[in-house]
Structure 1
């Protein structure tokens, strides 16, 4: 395992997505890139339980969740727990309006490699490292949270 992968395995991610195939493919891609990915969830209540117990470094949250659960509402709760959120959605305008609850958004459909780059970029910025280029598909919603990050 490379040094880059070693540092990523200490970074834990949570995926909250109602489309099982999408969530599974995303999990596999992120694990292949060296990240630790928690059990997949598709509901608000399950995700909050996991987040409270595991304290992931970043949560990837779809806006539309199973049942009538809402990813933006979940993002509010995750932010209150100190967990940054990357919204994933085909609802680009709704994701863009969530600046107060998420640090960024990625539109669906997305390329898995671009998602890995977005996650890597956001986690680096959260640690105070601004040396990586911002991926094209990533919309940064809360630049202030990223700029206020303490240096690692």
Structure 2
């Protein structure tokens, strides 16, 4: 798994979210904290393509996405390819979904709506 940079380092982040308004809000929060958003895509397939091409530090990954792959299957493929760590963001917080998601060893699981405080705490935790 990719090492997490320290707090002084700008993270290069990919946002994988099929709801445009949520994608824009998350991007705005990340940029507001000084991080680079490498892209925003609505599907797992596009996320895998970008992750194969770019050096990413972190991926924010919704569970329900456009396309054939959901976020959990995307995270599994990323993990198998030694991709960057993922943070799941989802409105689906039922036990079965959480259990399936947590089996992919995400860095975190954030329930929607994700707040700037959630993002700030996560980034602070990354700094250790």
Structure 1 residue 100 and structure 2 residue 112: aligned?
A: no
| C-alpha RMSD of matched pairs (Å) | 1.8
Query: Distance between the aligned counterparts of 1:36 and 1:64, measured in 2?
Result: 24
For 1:72, the equivalent position in structure 2 comes to 72
**Could you say which structure has the greater relative contact order, defined with CA pairs below 8 angstroms and 6 or more residues apart?**
2
In structure 2, the CA distance between the partners of 1:66 and 1:120, relative to structure 1 (3 Å rule), is farther
Report the structure, 1 or 2, having the larger strand content. Answer: 2
Question: How high is the TM-score relative to the length of structure 2?
Answer: 0.82
Residue of structure 1 equivalent to 2:3: none
Alignment match, 1:57: 57
In the TM superposition, structure 1's runs of 4+ consecutive aligned residues that sit over 4 Å from their partners are none
The answer on 1:112 being equivalent to 2:116 is yes
Give the greater-gyration-radius structure (CA): 1
Determine helix, strand or coil for the equivalent of 1:7: coil
Q: Which stretches in structure 2 are left out of the alignment for 5+ residues?
A: 1-6
